């Protein structure tokens, strides 16, 4: 991956390095993962209750120095 594709705005939360490689978290159900604020509650069938709750898109970056995965919430994704 080229240096231009590495995020250098935010430092790594674990080691402070400035070279973060963009990527994504796979979700085999819908093709993207979302962050939902608050404590997770399980529904009748064991899945997370999500109805009526805010959903936020996320971005993920791997630190090229320590391999820590940095995740950031981006836009609201109802």
Do 60 and 25 touch, CB atoms closer than 8 A? Answer: yes
Q: What is the pTM of this model?
A: 0.65
Do 36 and 78 touch, CB atoms closer than 8 A? Answer: no
Count the alpha carbons within 13 Å of 22 in the hemisphere toward its beta carbon: 10
Tell me the per-residue pLDDT of 16-69, one tens digit each, with 9 for 90 and over.
Answer: 999 999 987 777 676 677 778 788 888 888 888 888 888 888 888 999 999 999
Taking the CB of residue 45, how many other CB atoms lie within 10 A of it?
A: 5
Q: Would you kindly state where each structural domain of the chain is located, as residue ranges? A: 1-78
């Amino acid at each position: 991956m080229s240096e231009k594709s590495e995020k250098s705005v935010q430092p790594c939360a674990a080691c402070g390095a400035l070279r973060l490689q963009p990527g994504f978290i796979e979700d085999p159900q819908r093709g993207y993962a979302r962050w939902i604020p608050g404590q997770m509650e399980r529904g009748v069938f064991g899945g997370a209750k999500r109805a009526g709750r805010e959903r936020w898109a996320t971005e993920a970056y791997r630190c090229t120095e320590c391999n820590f995965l940095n995740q950031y919430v981006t836009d609201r994704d109802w």
